[in-house]
Amino acid sequence: MFQDRAKVYVEGGRGGNGVVSFRREAHVPRGGPDGGDGGRGGDVVLVADRSRRDLASMRIARHYRAERGRHGQGANKHGGRGDDLIVLVPPGTTVEGLDGERYDLVADGQRAIVAAGGLGGHGNKRFTSSTRQAPRFSENGLNGASGWIELHLKLLADAGLVGLPNAGKSSLLSTLTRAAPKVADYPFTTIEPVLGTIDDGERQLVLADIPGLIEGAAEGAGLGHEFLAHVERCRVLVHLLEIGPGAEPEEAYRVVRGELEAHGHGLAALPELIALSKSDLLPAADVEALLAEWRERSPGAIAVRAISSATRAGLDELSGDLFSVAQRDEGEAEAAAEAEDDGFESEYRVYKPAAADGYEAIEIEDGVFEITGRGIEMLVERHDLGNFEAVAYLEQRLMEIGVIKALRKAGFEDGDEVRIGDQAFDLHPSD
């Protein structure tokens, strides 16, 4: 079954810890600090890959965790970076990252970091100063970003085939391309989108065959309308109207246009090519009359064609129309790209960690204060609060940043409890 949605848990690798170490030399009882830094955790990265057809595999494997960074070592050895976890998704996948950014992976190879790895901690070497020559503390690595994200696939096709059930959409796709969608004389034969490619020797066009639409599809009638998302990014819609004996092409047109409007997302505004289908079922003169009538009635359409998948009548003209639309669009896109110059880059965005500055100190109960703010929380998360030296260092940093001052403003007195993130400790900044 074709899957165009998935919800998965992603987690960047935890950063490696910095280490406490002192140089050892034959004749020196205790050398200087030489603890290396921990490596950064790996990222979870989505990469668009043509080999992927849909999101089905992501509904089975739902947890994606990148590797953690290696811990630092003595002799100033820094820990290695954790490996990124690469997750292949079909081109056309859109996702909202943990940071709320939207990514649209359109071209093969485009990437989005959806869960960044945590930073590695500094080794004790980094905390050496003129007054602290032998620091016996180091930083812990930080957790990677983590959480649930939702992926949506909107197929990338050049042309979308729309029409009532039985209009002949799948027959057209199987005649024009090598795709082999199911064809049958009952409605809703097609229940999931199928792509096929036509090739004129110079360029390829992808056609999307989707389920039929009926009146009320936008309210869930028939197979509903959600599959229309797969033709939202088409350059052109081929609207098939059956013209066999007893067919009512006018009514069919009204219903399908109504559903395209109701779906929204710009579908109704897409260029439209009207294809009067199953023309083999009517005498040639009737087909000609209908063609003239529909051309008159549809001045906005790119073209009106009478086609038959049974006899191939009109199919070369139809594909010629599609190629000329594509050619025109490519010309326009090139001009736009020249004007803009950074087309590829601007299509996706890279993970940016949330701003680390800014914090707030409030008294949450008598003698208990809470400091919120990502930067401060990270600072605390990195240190072992059981280590006296680390706590002294932390107090000094909090003082420098102005947090102690903010605490005092909020009513803090020496020895009161302070909560930051999931840590609670008593602060004695004046000692």
Ligand X SMILES: Nc1nc2c(ncn2[C@@H]2O[C@H](COP(=O)(O)OP(=O)(O)OP(=O)(O)O)[C@@H](O)[C@H]2O)c(=O)[nH]1
Interaction site with Mg ion (CB under 5 A): 169-170, 189-190
Amino acid at 136: R
Residue 184 Cβ vs Mg ion, minimum distance, rounded to whole Å: 8
CB 92 within 8 A of CB 38: no
Residue 168 Cβ vs ligand X, minimum distance, rounded to whole Å: 3
Residue 92 Cβ vs Mg ion, minimum distance, rounded to whole Å: 21
What is the Cα–Cα distance from 190 to 174, expressed in whole angstroms?
Answer: 12
Asked if 165 interacts with ligand X (CB under 6 A), we say: yes
b/e string for 103-127 if b means 16 or more Cβ within 10 A? bbbbeeebbbbbbbbbbbbbbbbbb
Residue 211 Cβ vs Mg ion, minimum distance, rounded to whole Å: 7
Stretch that binds ligand X, among 106-114, 229-237, 307-315, 325-333 (CB under 6 A): 307-315
Residue 307 exposed, middle or buried by CB count within 10 Å (0-12, 13-18, 19+): buried
Reading the block at residue 407, the tokens are: 């605490």
Asked if 167 interacts with ligand X (CB under 6 A), we say: yes
b/e string for 224-238 if b means 16 or more Cβ within 10 A? bbebbbbbbbbbbbb
What is the Cα–Cα distance from 326 to 269, expressed in whole angstroms?
Answer: 17
Asked if 249 interacts with ligand X (CB under 6 A), we say: no
Asked if 309 interacts with ligand X (CB under 6 A), we say: yes
Q: Which does 232 bind (CB under 5 to 8 A by kind): ligand X, Mg ion, none?
A: none
Q: Which does 309 bind (CB under 5 to 8 A by kind): ligand X, Mg ion, none?
A: ligand X
**Which residues 169-188 are close enough to bind ligand X by CB under 6 A?**
169-171, 183-185, 187-188
Which residues lie across from 418 on neighbouring strands? 369, 425
Q: Which does 58 bind (CB under 5 to 8 A by kind): ligand X, Mg ion, none?
A: none
**Which residues 266-285 are close enough to bind ligand X by CB under 6 A?**
277-278, 280-281
Helices (H), 169-283: 169-176, 249-263
- The count of other CB atoms within 10 Å of the CB of residue 270 is 18
Residue closer to Mg ion, measured from CB, 193 or 249: 193
Sign of the alpha-carbon torsion through 121, 124, 126, 131: positive
Stretch that binds ligand X, among 19-27, 109-117, 161-169, 352-360 (CB under 6 A): 161-169
Q: Nearest-CA neighbor of 270 among 220, 310, 230, 234?
A: 234
Asked if 382 interacts with ligand X (CB under 6 A), we say: no
Asked if 195 interacts with ligand X (CB under 6 A), we say: no
Amino acid at 420: I
Cβ neighbours of residue 303 closer than 8 Å, sequence gap 6 or more: 273, 274, 317, 318, 321
Which residues lie across from 181 on neighbouring strands? none
Q: Which does 168 bind (CB under 5 to 8 A by kind): ligand X, Mg ion, none?
A: ligand X
Task: Please tell me the count of residues contacting ligand X according to CB under 6 A.
Answer: 24
Q: Which does 187 bind (CB under 5 to 8 A by kind): Mg ion, ligand X, none?
A: ligand X
Which residue of the chain is nearest ligand X when measured via CB? 212
CB 104 within 8 A of CB 94: yes
Residue closer to ligand X, measured from CB, 16 or 314: 314
Asked if 314 interacts with ligand X (CB under 6 A), we say: no
What x/- string results for residues 200 through 239 when contact with ligand X is judged by CB under 6 A?
A: -----------xx---------------------------
Residue closer to ligand X, measured from CB, 138 or 171: 171
Residue closer to ligand X, measured from CB, 97 or 212: 212
Which residues lie across from 6 on neighbouring strands? 151
Q: Which residues bind ligand X (CB under 6 A)?
A: 163, 165-171, 183-185, 187-190, 211-212, 277-278, 280-281, 308-310
